């Protein structure tokens, strides 16, 4: 089944403890991106990747890192999480560059930073 998977789905952590949220797609998509969703603010893009080894900042990249070593995986890294990073995170992918093709979203990761 064609899908985008994220792990973990739920995570409660403490300030400063490094964490990684994984994202994987099995559709051979070139474009992948990360979003955070907060009430009243909608979905805001954190980072995106046009292809392997090509990543760029979205609107809210501060406090996050990403890597794209393989086409199918696009992990989101929080080196030193803070409470203001408590949010619902979505990974998405599309066949080609994001503005043209349908975005396929993962199920979401709900992160709480205490």
Partner 1 sequence: GQQVMQIPQYQHVQEGEDFTTYCNSSTTLSNIQWYKQRPGGHPVFLIQLVKSGEVKKQKRLTFQFGEAKKNSSLHITATQTTDVGTYFCLSGNTGKLIFGQGTTLQVKP
Q: How far is CA 27 from CA 24, 67, 87, in A?
A: 9, 18, 27
Closest CA to 7 of 18, 23, 26: 23
Measured from the CB atom, the residue of 4 and 113 that comes closer to partner 1 is 4
Instruction: Give the binding range for partner 1 (CB under 8 A) out of 9-17, 66-74, 76-84, 100-108.
Output: 100-108
| Short-list 7, 98, 107, 16, CA closest to 63 | 16
- Decide whether 69 or 100 has the Cβ nearer to partner 1: 100
| Residues lying near partner 1 in the complex (CB under 8 A) | 31, 33, 35, 40-45, 48, 50, 56, 58-59, 90, 92, 97-100, 102-108
């Amino acid at each position: 089944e064609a899908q985008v998977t994220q792990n973990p789905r739920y995570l409660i952590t403490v300030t400063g403890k490094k964490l990684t949220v994984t994202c994987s797609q099995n559709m051979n998509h070139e474009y992948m991106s990360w979003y955070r969703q907060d009430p009243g603010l909608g979905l805001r893009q954190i980072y995106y990747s046009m292809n392997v080894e090509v990543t760029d900042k979205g609107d809210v990249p501060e406090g996050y890192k990403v890597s794209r070593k393989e086409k199918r995986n696009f992990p989101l890294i929080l080196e030193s999480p803070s409470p203001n990073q408590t949010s619902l995170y979505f990974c998405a992918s599309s066949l080609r560059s994001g503005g043209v093709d349908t975005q396929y979203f993962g199920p979401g990761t709900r992160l709480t930073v205490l």
